[in-house]
Homo-oligomer: A and B are copies of this chain.
Amino acid sequence: MNNNPYYGPEGHGPYEMIDIGDLLLEDGGTIPNCKLAVATHGALNAAKDNAILVPTWYSGTSKIMEQVYIGAGRALDPAKYFIIVVNQIGSGLSTSPHNTGGAMTGPNFPKVRIGDDVRAQHRLLTENFGLKSLALVVGGSMGAQQTYEWAVRYPDFVKRAAPIAGTAKNTEHDFLFAETLNEAITTDPGFREGRYGSPADVAAGLKRQAKLWTVMGWSTDFFRANRHKALGFESVQAFIDTFMTGYFAPMDPNNLLSMAWKWQRGDVSRNAGGDLAAALGRIKAKTFVMPISHDMFFPPADCEAEQRLIPGSEFRPLASIDGHLGLFGTDPQMLAQLDANLSELLATRVN
């Protein structure tokens, strides 16, 4: 068990650690006393119909969701909604490779799937918060994967769904993107098959992953427009070294790999014997599918193909040359589009 100071309330709080009990995993094994790090904003109303769930993406925590997406005057306004941000398993705040002792520590952490997270969250919401429905599930990237999984698995529970920059079934191409990120880490000799002493031992691998994220996470147009300079970095190199490498360097490699394994295999069709159309056809939530125009990982065309399979859904692409990492909130105009869509979705009457 590795005590990494990056993962803690100082940088990512406040949040509450909630033990949801033993979690049986789809790929075998059990996480005993699975703990979810949960941040809430606002209050549940008497009718218990104003709850919004926000799951997290790869490497992200509840903190960035709060900073970028939640606030007074925003679509996700704590004055109106009870907003529950749940850090995914493997995120470093919830039960994760780096904070689990014993036989499941580090590289021995079991394989966790999107469906495991969603079942854990369902137990949390029903048993700990006494919820019977969610007004909205909204998340980006792996948060979108969880959003789709929620809408397919619990069609009556989820009233509205807003998957942003993610897919219901991961594409083979996206699987490869993630594989190159993983290999940047695992091929660092300091990784030692997951038995490194600290992230610093894997600094070179984490830096290579940061460079790959720089190439794939933004877009050609982002750099041509000198958006990295607008964000305060004098050169692409400074952007890589300071921002991107600085972001990943303190993170635990086994945590990242645990999330990436899950990301690569996100697939709601597992709920319908491999039939994606059947799985998406189960969705009752009013769904706005919101890819980002310049996203290399989850291009709009991939998302639109899925959107067509969801009854009553709408395709609402967000325009931003910031690409996938526009999720970081770097483009105020994209956030404005997102808020407008979410406000409209939340105002939509549902059963």
Contacts and interface: CB of A to CB of B under 8 A. Distances in A.
A224 B302 CA distance: 8
A189 interface: yes
Contacts of A183: 208, 211
A108 interface: no
Contacts of A219: 173
A221 interface: yes
Interface in A173-195: 173-177, 179-180, 183, 187-189
A171 B225 CA distance: 11
Contacts of A175: 236
Interface string A219-250: 11111100000000000100010000000000
A299 interface: yes
B176 A211 contact: yes
A171 B220 contact: yes
A221 B301 contact: yes
A116 B240 CA distance: 30
A180 B215 contact: yes
Interface residues of A, number: 33
A299 B172 contact: no
A214 B302 contact: no
A131 interface: no
Interface in A292-324: 296, 299, 301-302, 305
Contacts of A188: 187
Contacts of A176: 211, 214-215, 236, 240
Contacts of A70: none
A43 interface: no
Nearest to A219: B173
B187 A223 contact: no
Nearest to A228: B172
A204 interface: yes
Contacts of A214: 176
Contacts of A125: none
Contacts of A187: 187-188, 204, 208
A180 B224 contact: no
Identify which of A176, A204, A211, A222 gathers the most chain B CB atoms within 10 Å of its CB: A176
A165 to B, nearest CB: 14
Given A187-B204, A204-B187, A302-B220, A215 B177 contact: yes
A20 interface: no
A122 B200 CA distance: 51
A343 to B, nearest CB: 30
22 contacts: A171-B220, A172-B223, A172-B236, A173-B215, A173-B223, A173-B224, A173-B236, A175-B236, A176-B215, A176-B240, A179-B211, A180-B180, A180-B211, A180-B212, A183-B211, A187-B187, A189-B189, A215-B216, A220-B299, A220-B302, A221-B299, A296-B296
Given A173-B219, A173-B222, A175-B236, 7 more contacts: A171-B220, A171-B224, A173-B215, A176-B215, A176-B240, A187-B204, A220-B296
